[in-house]
Amino acid sequence: MKTALARLLEHLELDPQALDVAESPFPFKAHADFIDQIQPGNPDDPLLKQILPIRAETFVHPGFKLDPVGDLQANPLPSLIHKYHGRVLLMASPRCDIHCRYCFRRHFPYETQINQRHWQQALQQIGEDDSLHEVILSGGDPFTLSENALLDLVKKIEAIPHIQTLRIHSRTPIVAPSNAPQGRFLEWAKCSRLNKVLVVHCNHPNELSAKTAELMQHYRTAGFHLLNQSVLLKGVNDNAETLADLSQQLFTQGILPYYLHQLDRVQGAAHFEVDNATAKSLVENLRRLLPGYLVPKLVVEIAGEPHKTPL
């Protein structure tokens, strides 16, 4: 039996050996919507690089850790991460529609960390802390929940009087737009008293398509503010033209760039790292090429800091 990865490479007419493909405990995973955006025959395709497990992931580099952002320490409850003032992150789902090779959660034991009993405790804790005004659903990916589970969760959040804003961090609208909740979820959103923010995660303009554009239109109509975060990745988006194009294409789909993250130094992702001096000069170039509102904030996450740190 051929693996999904072997079938993909066959479909793309690429040789696994030439690509240095390697098995990984964080297995290959990608949705057909994302795969459709990959250019066949191109071993350097910027989307392929984000999902292809390669031998370089197994190299151990000093300074690259299992939990680089200190999330395991910041967990008062298994599914709640309260690091920043006024807002709390709820890990709503252990799954994603894609496995991004650079992800800092690649070693996170989330399968054992999240279940609905944990939500109950988390929601109770949020309800008791009126310094909180914003709940961020993250994961994994909150849009991998069933529509029923998601609706149940957002309605419980809406019922907490001191919560004003619901923010959803999801890569699903970009990498698997056909899986993103619409129907009853957007009906609920249209009538909800909450401020609603959807932060998608798109790293390269090729990830955007007619499907993502249509989906984003529906979310805007339902009252969501649309923002994007990207991760700066060597060989994927580490040049000013690509990043400028990304910002412009995002804007065309109604999305404003928010953060450009320096890579979290997680074990297995060293080959994606762009050094800080290069990162800063890239953003300097972006300032020359783009209106200010299309330049993302370059940030790095430092364990123990009370906010993301601008570079």
Ligand X SMILES: *Cc1c(COP(=O)(O)O)cnc(C)c1O
- The answer to the question of residue 196 lying near ligand X (CB under 6 A) is no
Contacting positions for ligand SF4 (CB under 6 A) = 96, 98-100, 103, 105, 139-141, 171, 201
Q: Smallest distance from the beta carbon of 301 to ligand X, in angstroms?
A: 6
- Tell me whether residue 49 or residue 308 sits nearer to ligand X (CB atom): 308
Q: Smallest distance from the beta carbon of 127 to ligand X, in angstroms?
A: 18
SS3 annotation, the chain: CCCHHHHHHHHCCCCCCCCCECCCCCCCCCCHHHHCCCCCCCCCCCCHHHHCCEHHHHCCCCCCECCCCCCCCCCCECCEEEEECCEEEEEEECCCCCCCCCCHHHHCCHHHCCCHHHHHHHHHHHHHCCCCCEEEEEECCHHHCCHHHHHHHHHHHHCCCCCCEEEEEECHHHHCHHHCCCHHHHHHHHHCCCEEEEEEECCCHHHCCHHHHHHHHHHHHCCEEEEEEEECCCCCCCCHHHHHHHHHHHHHCCCEEEEEECCCCECCCHHHCCCHHHHHHHHHHHHHHCCHHHCCEEEECCCCCCCCEEC
- Tell me whether residue 160 or residue 266 sits nearer to ligand SF4 (CB atom): 266
Q: Which stretch, 84-92, 119-127, 266-274, 288-296, contacts ligand X (CB under 6 A)? A: 84-92
What, of ligand X, ligand SF4, none, does residue 14 touch, CB below 5 to 8 Å by kind?
A: none
What, of ligand X, ligand SF4, none, does residue 105 touch, CB below 5 to 8 Å by kind?
A: ligand SF4
- Tell me whether residue 137 or residue 286 sits nearer to ligand X (CB atom): 137
Q: Smallest distance from the beta carbon of 174 to ligand SF4, in angstroms?
A: 9
- The answer to the question of residue 308 lying near ligand X (CB under 6 A) is yes
- Tell me whether residue 229 or residue 247 sits nearer to ligand SF4 (CB atom): 229
- Tell me whether residue 49 or residue 201 sits nearer to ligand SF4 (CB atom): 201
Cβ-contact 91, 83 below 8 angstroms: no
Q: Smallest distance from the beta carbon of 229 to ligand X, in angstroms?
A: 8
Instruction: Fill in the amino acid letter for 128.
Output: E
Q: Which of 14, 100, 136, 168 binds ligand X (CB under 6 A)?
A: 136
- The answer to the question of residue 105 lying near ligand X (CB under 6 A) is no
Cβ-contact 229, 258 below 8 angstroms: yes
- Tell me whether residue 142 or residue 160 sits nearer to ligand SF4 (CB atom): 142
Q: Which of 30, 51, 89, 145 binds ligand X (CB under 6 A)?
A: 89
- Tell me whether residue 107 or residue 211 sits nearer to ligand X (CB atom): 107
What, of ligand SF4, ligand X, none, does residue 98 touch, CB below 5 to 8 Å by kind?
A: ligand SF4
How many of the chain's residues bind ligand X (CB under 6 A)? 8
- The answer to the question of residue 263 lying near ligand X (CB under 6 A) is no
Phi, psi of 291 (to 5 degrees): -60, 150
Cβ-contact 103, 234 below 8 angstroms: no
Cβ-contact 137, 92 below 8 angstroms: yes
What, of ligand SF4, ligand X, none, does residue 84 touch, CB below 5 to 8 Å by kind?
A: ligand X
Output Rg (C-alpha) for the chain, integer angstroms: 19
- Tell me whether residue 176 or residue 298 sits nearer to ligand SF4 (CB atom): 176
Q: Which parts of this chain interact with ligand X (CB under 6 A)?
A: 81, 83-84, 87, 89, 136, 307-308
